[in-house]
Structures are given as structure tokens and as C-alpha cells.
Amino acid sequence: MVQGVGFRYFTTSTAEKFPINGYVRNLDTGDVEIEVEGSKEAVMQFLMALKKGPTYSHIENFQIEWKKYENVHDNFFVKYK
């Protein structure tokens, strides 16, 4: 659950540091969904940076679902619904 900690901004600014594409969005449940494409190494480095989270955040649960690379994104962005 993410509220008032700037997690989407943190995620997009972190994504700029890696050769990855995809999106971050808030879900109606209060959870955050992130879809990311890139090399496995870049994705893993990105995920490790995200696990630290922004200042004043506390990440309790982090689930990863690996999918086949489809190359559908050409940048990293905040997705609104």
C-alpha cells in the first residue's frame, strides 16, 4: 500500500538510471504495479534499488512475476489507470 511517499516518482527517477522500459501505476487496492522490460541484469539491479524505497517509505511485501520479454514499451512512465 502506497500513500503519500512519492513512490511513483521514486520509481521513475530510479528507472532512468538503468537501460529499462515499462511503467509504474497505483492500483485501486493501494498496491503498486510495475512492469519493466530489459536485460535480466538491468531489471535485477532496478528491483534491488526499488526494494530500498524512497525516504519515509516502508516496503513490507515485494512480489516478482517473470514473463517472456515482449518489447512493448519504448520508455519508462507513470501509467494512470
pLDDT in tens, the chain (81 residues): 555 568 889 999 999 999 999 999 988 888 889 999 999 999 999 999 998 888 777 778 889 999 998 999 999 999 987
Catalytic residue among 25, 26, 71, 75: 26
Is 1 among the domain residues? no
CATH number for the domain that contains residue 53: 3.30.70.100
Q: CA-to-CA distance for 65 and 63, rounded, in angstroms?
A: 7
Question: What is the structure's pLDDT at 3?
Answer: 56
Q: Is residue 8 annotated as part of the catalytic site, yes or no? A: yes
Q: Is residue 26 annotated as part of the catalytic site, yes or no? A: yes
Q: CA-to-CA distance for 12 and 10, rounded, in angstroms?
A: 6
CA dihedral 78, 36, 49, 6 (to 10 degrees): 10
Catalytic residue among 8, 21, 61, 71: 8
Number of domains observed in the structure of the chain: 1
Q: Note the pTM of the prediction, 2 decimals.
A: 0.87
Q: Which domain holds residue 32?
A: 7-78
Is 2 among the domain residues? no
